[in-house]
Each structure stands twice: as C-alpha cells, then as structure tokens.
C-alpha cells in the first residue's frame, strides 16, 4: 500500500464548539490508483486532504488516527521530515488557480524554488527542468518568464500541476482542480491527471462533481458530514449505489446523455458543531428507522465499504 | 525588463507636469495673498523710494507673466532668488546649509518608523488574537495620536534631564563637527573615520529621530498587521507550504506581499514626515529646514519662504517618484 489512512479524526475547536470535520476516516491507496472523494460542500473533503499533508492550521488539529505513507507514519513525523514529504512525495493541486500562485514571483522562480528545496540541482538546471515541466503540461516553455497575472486560469492551473508533478511525487492530491475552469479546459486538465496516473502515480481527486468522479476514477469514496459513508469501485458504485445518500446524490446529478428525471436532494448537510445523534444522514434519509438513532457501523459488502444500518451484517 | 524601463521613463515624464503645476500654485498663492510682501516685511513707515528699490531688487515691479517666466527658469537652473534679510545670500545656498540636517533627521526618523511598524505589525499578526496583539494595537493607536512637541519633551525629560543619557537639543557638540563632505554628519563622520563626531552626531540624533519614528510608526503597525494577516490566509501561502518550501522562505514571501501597501503608505506619509520634521526640529532646536522656514516666516523673508516651499515641493515629487519605482520593482502587476 502506498497510503493507508486509519481512523483519522481532525477537529476544529471553534467558538461554536468542536467541529469534527473528518471523523474516524479510513481509506487506502495503491500505486497507480485513481480515487475520487465526493460529497457536498463542507463535508470535510479538503480537511481530509490537508490532514494527509499535515497542513491543518489552528484552531484545527489531527486528534486521532494514523497515516501510513510509503513506509512512514506521517502524524508522528517531525516537522522537518514532514516538510520533505510535502511537495517531494505528495504533490498537491488547489481549487482556485487564480489564488494559488504568488502574484509577485515569476512562474519559473516559483517552480525552481520548490525544486531546489528538495533536490540538489543548480539554479540553471532547475530552470531547465521548469521549462521541461511547462512543456509537459502543454505550455510554451518560455512561460517561465511570465508572472501569474499574465496567464489565463487554465494556464495557471497547468502551472500549478507542473509544479506539483515536477518532483515526481508518488501521490498527487488535487482538491477540486477544475472548479474554476470551463468544461474544455477541465477535460484537458483531467487528461493531464490521467497521464500522471499512467506514469505510476496515485491520484486522489477531490470533487463535488459526481459525474466527473464516475468518468475518471477507479474508486469513489463518498463523504458526508465528516464520515466516509460509502466507498468502492467507481462503475459499480455509480450503477448500484447502496447508501441512501449516494443514491440521492447520483439522482440529483443532471445527466446530459440520458433522459432522466432529476431529483434534487432535499435538506442540507448538518451543522458539524452540532451533528444529529446517531447517523448523521438520518434527518434527510427517506429510509430512516429507530435504529438510526445509533451510529451505524461501517461494513464491507463484496468489497464495498458502506456505513448504514441497512447493510448490517447479521 | 524593458517594460520596467518604459514604466520608469513614463513615470519620470509625469513628474514634469506635476512639478510645473506645483510651482505655478506656489507662485499664484504668494501673489494672491493680500498685501505687498515688501511692505509687510519692512513696515509702512519706510519711505516710498526705499520700497521701490527693494521691490526692484526682488523683481516684483515687473509684469506678472515676466515674473512667472523668470521664476520658472530660475527654479530649473537652481536659482531661487536672493534672501531679503541679513547677508542677502542666494536662497539656494541657505537651503543647502539647512537641508542636510533635515535630510539626516528625516532618514533616521523614517527608517525607524518603518522598522518599528514592520516589527510591531508582524509580531501582532503572528500572535493574532493574543495579548501581545492587543498590546501592539494599543501601541499603534497611541503612537498615531501622540503630539510631537509634547512627546519630544517627554523624551527630553526622561533621557536628557532625568537619566542624563542623551543631549536634548542641537545637532552636534560645538567643535565636534566632522569635515563637511555631504553635510550629513553621520555619513561624513564615517567617511572621515571620525569616531568622536560619529558618536556625538548619533547621540544628538537619538531623541529627535525616536520622537519622529515612534509617532509615524503607528500607521505602519496597523497596516503591516492587517496586511500580513490577510496575506498569511491566502491560498498561495498554503500552496508554498504544501510544496515543502521552508517556513523561513514562506514568511519571506508573505512579508514581501504584505509590504506592497506599505510602500504606498511610505509615499503618502512622506509629506507628513516633513511636516513632523518641522515640529520635531523646533522641539529639539535642530538647525534644519523647519527651523529655517519658521524663522524666515517670522521675518517675512518672502523669497526665502517661497524658495523653501518650492524646494519642499520638488523634494516630495522626487520621493514619490522613487516610491513608485520601488513599487514597480516589487509588484509585476504594476509594470505590465
Ligand atoms: N479553519 C477552520 N476553522 C473552523 N472550521 C473549519 C476550518 N476549516 C474547515 N472548517 C470546517 O470543517 C468542515 C469541513 O470543511 P472542508 O473545507 O473540509 O469541506 P469541503 O468538503 O472541502 O467543502 P467544499 O466542497 O466547500 O470545499 C466545515 O464544516 C468547515 O466549516
Ligand atoms: Mg474543499
């Protein structure tokens, strides 16, 4: 296994109370895997990603669990060792390409600073690598001389991806990398991620676009209010969702190709400072029963993880 | 880089109309003020032919448009006319006697204010929400509202009278002046390797520049704190960390971004700095432009006052040019 997250819990201690943004989450990834994390806004997807690279700012903290990555346990690693993992072994692409580059530095300077932080190269060599990286993501190499404001959103996101892959990380986490971009650019960026995967990298794509996740990834993990409530093979999970929330989510996605009624999911995700007792999806669940007043167990059904009383193993 | 050069040239060309407008304003204001400067200088009891002679010497008997042209050509050739009292020396020479003192005080006060502002502002930002943060914010408000003569006097009492650590007035102990090269005593002492005069000049500079520095730092504290907090929460800072860039370098990038509005404030504060310097100079008997200006206003030395104002105006225009160039060097979004 390349990445194994075990019972990870990340909290934010806010004035309104303790927010369990990631609650007892486990998942694993192998080399070459492409997993998507989907779920509505605020369910803890980004917090999960930041927890993996240990970039949770106060008032947040990783309160429990273990993260094994390539033979190391990340939650107990020293800050300096963790810094060397960031960028070098785990690359990260952020949601908004307009704000994830430093407006004052040339593209080339931003790429080379990262390179020289991790590998032993001269400035000249680093600039050469930077040019090659831009070419690889489909940008003219002389863009190294540009400043971020001289590039379009799509170009900037390519730069960010170039930066994230320039050190050849084993895992690439992309947190909604295409939300701010138009559909055509989105396709190209996704193709790029796919290529990265073919080179043997594991990809973790965070998105709230179920259709995109179904089309692009091998596996899907569905998050709801800090929990993973269902996880499994992307095709099967899309065709036969088990958890009522997953079903609701899929039915609420407009499908361009198939003429099908869209049923928006009623209600909103709960306030994580005061989550409902028992199953967190209970207030919105059409199939809720008495039992759901207690937290459902996570069970394995034919290689599919599902956290719901409906699938309790007798 | 060539676009940077183009920016600087354009910006430089823009100074010319600014300066001409400033000069015209000074010219007009001094002629619109009711009363004849010569009469108000020497009084009305003086015989008419003496007044005529003085007016002629000052060139005030010529038609306005001729005066205006002579005045402009004078300014651009460094001729600000002759002082109307005492030795009737060229005004530019008198300014040059006093300007280095002001420049020295302004540089020290300015650097101190920016340093204090950056240090207190960053401490507040990094300890956001803590008691230290509140302390720094209170400092900023108090510093901002301090009245220079009052605060200067307080420092004089404390360090000069009570602790007897520092001189409370003047620029240097008589006899200790370094050989004049630039007129800036600290620089001249260093250039001539004169340690006695260096220490003497610095000890005289301490209180006035501290007064000026503290009072002007309040605005920077606030600005640096708010900017840094804003920058530190931005995505690209988190992105630097996510790429494993060392924290020291991340902070450097954050500070650089937070510094841009500070540069703008420096340009805006500069006129305030000069005004503050006038007050500081009179509090500490500092023989600079402020003291000179106040003295000549009292004597109604009309050419000297006009010359000093023109000089100040040009100086402010020059500094704002320098600030804009620094701004462009820092921020690529400006120069393209
Ligand atoms: N710095 C923080 N302080 C307090 N609460 C936070 C902080 N960051 C996130 N949270 C809370 O943690 C929960 C999960 O947030 P997170 O950003 O992980 O959601 P997300 O699934 O990525 O949502 P989105 O799709 O909108 O990006 C939210 O309820 C949010 O309010
Ligand atoms: Mg998010």
Assembly ipTM:
0.91
Give the mutation candidate from A103, A164, A165 for the B interface (greatest B CB count, under 10 A).
Answer: A103
Residues B108 and B201 in one domain: yes
Reduced to 3 states (helix: H, G, I; strand: E, B; else coil), residue B77 is coil
Average pLDDT, chain B: 87
Q: Which of A83, A94, A101 sits opposite B244 (nearest CB)?
A: A83
Ligand 1 centroid, distance to A229 Cα (angstroms): 18
Residues B4 and B81 in one domain: yes
Model pLDDT for residues A25-46, shown as the tens digit of each residue: 999 999 999 999 999 999 999 9
Residues B80 and B134 in one domain: no
CA–CA distance, A114 with B241 (Å, rounded to integer):
10
For residue B276, the model assigns a pLDDT of: 86
CA–CA distance, A73 with A75 (Å, rounded to integer):
6
Check residue A56 and report its DSSP letter. P
CA–CA distance, B52 with A162 (Å, rounded to integer):
80
Give yes or no for residue A78 CB within 6 A of ligand 1: no
CA–CA distance, B100 with B109 (Å, rounded to integer):
14
**Of the candidates B248, B278, B308, which is a domain's last residue?**
B278
A92 with B243: Cβ contact below 8 A? yes
Ligand 1 centroid, distance to B235 Cα (angstroms): 14
Reduced to 3 states (helix: H, G, I; strand: E, B; else coil), residue A210 is helix
For residue B207, the model assigns a pLDDT of: 94
Chain A within 8 Å of B128 (Cβ-Cβ)? no
- Chain A partners within 8 Å of B330 (Cβ): 104
CA atoms within 13 A on the CB side of B43: 3
- The answer to whether residue A193 sits within a structural domain is yes
Ligand 1 centroid, distance to B330 Cα (angstroms): 34
Q: In terms of DSSP H, where are the helices of B43-81?
A: 48-57, 64-76
For residue B320, the model assigns a pLDDT of: 84
Q: State the ligand closest to the CA atom of A270.
A: 1
For residue A206, the model assigns a pLDDT of: 95
- The answer to whether residue B321 sits within a structural domain is yes
Its domain, for residue A52, covers 3-89+169-311
For residue A264, the model assigns a pLDDT of: 80
Ion ligand 2: protein residues whose beta carbon lies under 5 Å: A 46
Residues B5 and B108 in one domain: no
- The answer to whether residue B37 sits within a structural domain is yes
Answer for the pair B270, B263: CB distance below 8 angstroms, yes or no: no
Give yes or no for residue A41 CB within 6 A of ligand 1: yes
A85 pLDDT exceeds 70?
yes
Q: What is the CATH number of the domain that holds A282?
A: 3.40.50.300
CA–CA distance, B312 with A86 (Å, rounded to integer):
53
Residues B101 and B241 in one domain: yes
- Chain B partners within 8 Å of A92 (Cβ): 239, 242-243
A113 with B238: Cβ contact below 8 A? no
B243 with A55: Cβ contact below 8 A? no
- The answer to whether residue B287 sits within a structural domain is no
Confidence bin at A259 (pLDDT 50/70/90): low
CA–CA distance, A100 with B236 (Å, rounded to integer):
4
Chain A within 8 Å of B227 (Cβ-Cβ)? no
Q: Taking Cα atoms as reference points, which of A153, A125, A151 lies closest to residue A140?
A: A151
For residue B34, the model assigns a pLDDT of: 67
Give yes or no for residue A42 CB within 6 A of ligand 1: yes
Residues B110 and B248 in one domain: yes
Residues B61 and B187 in one domain: no
**Of the candidates B278, B309, B328, which is a domain's last residue?**
B278
Spatial strand order of the sheet with A17-29 comes to A17-29, A3-14, A60-69, A72-73
Residues B79 and B10 in one domain: yes
Question: How far apart, in Å, are the Cα atoms of A42 and each of A92, A181, A225?
Answer: 19, 21, 7
Average pLDDT, chain A: 91
Q: Which of B235, B245, B333 sits opposite A94 (nearest CB)?
A: B235
Give yes or no for residue A227 CB within 6 A of ligand 1: no
For residue B336, the model assigns a pLDDT of: 63
Q: In terms of DSSP H, where are the helices of chain A?
A: 45-52, 79-85, 107-118, 123-136, 153-165, 183-198, 210-216, 234-239, 244-251
Number of domains composing chain B: 2
Ligand 2 centroid, distance to A224 Cα (angstroms): 13
Give yes or no for residue A208 CB within 6 A of ligand 1: yes
A74 pLDDT exceeds 90?
yes
Answer for the pair A212, A254: CB distance below 8 angstroms, yes or no: no
Strands A298-301 and A304-307 come out as: antiparallel
B238 with A105: Cβ contact below 8 A? no
Q: Tell which one of A17, A19, A222 to mutate to probe ligand 1, the residue whose CB is within 8 A of the most ligand atoms.
A: A19
Residues B146 and B224 in one domain: yes
- The answer to whether residue A152 sits within a structural domain is no
For residue B58, the model assigns a pLDDT of: 73
Q: Which helix (H) or strand (E) holds B314?
A: helix B302-330
Kindly report the pTM of this predicted structure.
0.84
Residue with tokens 């007016």: B55
What DSSP line would sit under A94-130, residue for residue? -S-TTTSS-TTS-HHHHHHHHHHHHS---HHHHHHHH
For residue A34, the model assigns a pLDDT of: 95
φ, ψ for residue A23, nearest 5 deg: -125, 105
Residues B74 and B106 in one domain: no
For residue A257, the model assigns a pLDDT of: 58
Question: How far apart, in Å, are the Cα atoms of B94 and each of A49, B40, B300?
Answer: 68, 22, 15
User: Which neighbouring-strand residues pair with A298?
Assistant: A307
Q: Which of B234, B244, B249 sits opposite A99 (nearest CB)?
A: B234
Q: What is the CATH number of the domain that holds B106?
A: 1.10.3720
Q: What does the pLDDT average to over A159-183?
A: 88
Residues B315 and B178 in one domain: no
- The answer to whether residue A18 sits within a structural domain is yes
Closest chain B residue to A168 measured between Cα atoms?
Answer: B243
- The answer to whether residue B175 sits within a structural domain is yes
CA–CA distance, B312 with B224 (Å, rounded to integer):
28
Chain A within 8 Å of B235 (Cβ-Cβ)? yes
- The answer to whether residue B284 sits within a structural domain is no
Kindly give the parts of chain B with pLDDT less than 50. Answer: none
Q: Which helix (H) or strand (E) holds A298?
A: strand A298-301
Residues B177 and B304 in one domain: no
| Contacting residues for B298 by C-beta, under 8 A, at least 6 apart | none
A313 pLDDT exceeds 70?
no
- The answer to whether residue A163 sits within a structural domain is no
- The answer to whether residue A114 sits within a structural domain is no
Answer for the pair B178, B197: CB distance below 8 angstroms, yes or no: yes
CA–CA distance, A225 with B192 (Å, rounded to integer):
73
Q: Taking Cα atoms as reference points, which of B229, B235, B230 lies closest to residue A95?
A: B235
Looking at chain A, how many residues does it have? 314
A85 with B236: Cβ contact below 8 A? no
For residue B247, the model assigns a pLDDT of: 94
Confidence bin at A5 (pLDDT 50/70/90): very high
Task: Give me B164's structure tokens.
Answer: 């007897």
Percent of chain A with pLDDT over 70: 97
Nearest CA, atom 28, ligand 1: A42
For residue A304, the model assigns a pLDDT of: 94
**Cα dihedral sign, A112-A116-A118-A119:** positive
CA atoms within 13 A on the CB side of B250: 18
What DSSP line would sit under B123-145, residue for residue? HHHHTTTSHHHHHHHHHHHHHHH
Task: Give me B199's structure tokens.
Answer: 């220490």
- The answer to whether residue A271 sits within a structural domain is yes
Task: Give me B256's structure tokens.
Answer: 């650089």
B336 with A96: Cβ contact below 8 A? no
For residue A44, the model assigns a pLDDT of: 94
Its domain, for residue B244, covers 94-278
Check residue A270 and report its DSSP letter. P
Q: State the ligand closest to the CA atom of A39.
A: 1
For residue B82, the model assigns a pLDDT of: 81
């Amino acid at each position: 296994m390349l990445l194994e997250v075990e019972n990870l819990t990340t909290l934010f201690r806010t004035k309104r109370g303790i927010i369990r943004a990631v609650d007892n989450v486990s998942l694993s990834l192998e080399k070459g895997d492409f997993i998507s994390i989907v779920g509505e806004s605020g369910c803890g997807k980004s917090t999960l990603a930041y927890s993996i690279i240990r970039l949770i700012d106060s008032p947040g903290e990783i309160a429990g669990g273990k993260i094994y990555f390539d033979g190391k346990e990340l939650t107990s690693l020293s800050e300096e060792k963790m810094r060397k993992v960031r960028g070098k072994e785990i690359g990260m692409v952020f949601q908004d390409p307009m704000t994830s580059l430093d407006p004052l530095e040339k593209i080339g300077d931003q790429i080379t600073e990262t390179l020289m932080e991790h590998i032993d190269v001269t400035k000249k060599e680093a600039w050469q690598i930077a040019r090659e990286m831009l070419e690889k993501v489909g940008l003219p190499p002389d863009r190294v001389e540009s400043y971020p404001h001289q590039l379009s959103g799509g170009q900037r996101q390519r730069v960010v991806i170039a930066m994230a892959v320039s050190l050849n990380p084993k895992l690439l986490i992309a947190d909604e990398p295409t939300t701010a971009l138009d559909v055509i650019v989105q396709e190209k960026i996704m193709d790029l991620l796919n290529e990265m995967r073919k080179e043997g990298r594991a990809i973790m794509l965070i998105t709230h676009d179920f259709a995109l996740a179904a089309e692009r990834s091998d596996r899907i993990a569905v998050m709801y209010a800090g929990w993973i409530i269902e996880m499994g093979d992307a095709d099967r999970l899309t065709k036969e969702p088990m958890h009522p929330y997953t079903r609701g989510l899929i039915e609420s996605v407009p499908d361009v190709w198939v003429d099908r009624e869209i049923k928006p999911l009623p209600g909103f995700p709960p306030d994580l400072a005061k989550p409902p007792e028992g199953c967190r999806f209970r207030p919105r669940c059409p199939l809720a029963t008495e039992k759901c007043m207690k937290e459902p167990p996570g069970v394995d059904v034919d290689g599919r993880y599902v956290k719901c009383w409906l699938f309790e193993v007798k | 880089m060539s676009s940077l050069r183009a920016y600087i040239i354009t910006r430089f060309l823009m100074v010319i109309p600014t300066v001409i407008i400033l000069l015209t304003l000074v010219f007009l204001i001094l002629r619109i003020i009711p009363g004849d400067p010569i009469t108000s200088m020497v009084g009305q009891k003086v015989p008419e032919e003496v007044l005529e002679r003085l007016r002629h010497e000052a060139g005030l008997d010529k038609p306005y448009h001729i005066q205006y042209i002579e005045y402009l050509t004078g300014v651009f050739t460094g001729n600000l006319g002759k002082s109307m009292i005492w030795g009737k020396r060229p005004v530019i020479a008198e300014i040059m006697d006093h300007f280095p003192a002001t420049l020295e005080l302004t540089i020290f006060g300015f650097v101190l204010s920016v340093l204090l502002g950056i240090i207190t502002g960053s401490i507040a930002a990094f300890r956001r929400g803590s008691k230290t943060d509140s302390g720094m914010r209170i400092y900023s408000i108090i510093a901002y509202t301090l009245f220079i003569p009052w605060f200067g006097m307080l420092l004089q009492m404390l360090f000069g009278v009570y602790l007897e650590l520092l001189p409370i007035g003047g620029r240097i102990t008589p006899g200790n002046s370094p050989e004049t090269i630039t007129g800036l005593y600290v620089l001249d002492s260093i250039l001539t390797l004169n340690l006695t005069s260096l220490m003497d000049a610095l000890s005289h500079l301490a209180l006035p520049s501290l007064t000026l520095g503290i009072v002007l730092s309040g605005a920077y504290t606030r600005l640096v704190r708010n900017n840094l907090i804003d920058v530190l929460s931005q995505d690209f800072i988190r992105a630097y960390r996510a790429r494993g860039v060392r924290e020291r370098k991340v902070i450097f990038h954050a500070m650089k971004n937070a510094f841009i509005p500070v540069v703008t404030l420096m340009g805006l504060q500069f006129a305030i700095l000069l005004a503050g310097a006038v007050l500081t100079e009179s509090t500490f008997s500092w023989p600079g432009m402020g003291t000179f200006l106040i003295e000549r206003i009292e004597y109604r030395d009309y050419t000297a006052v006009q010359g000093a104002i023109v000089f100040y105006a040009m100086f402010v225009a020059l500094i704002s040019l320098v600030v804009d160039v620094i701004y462009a060097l820092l921020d690529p979004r400006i120069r393209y």
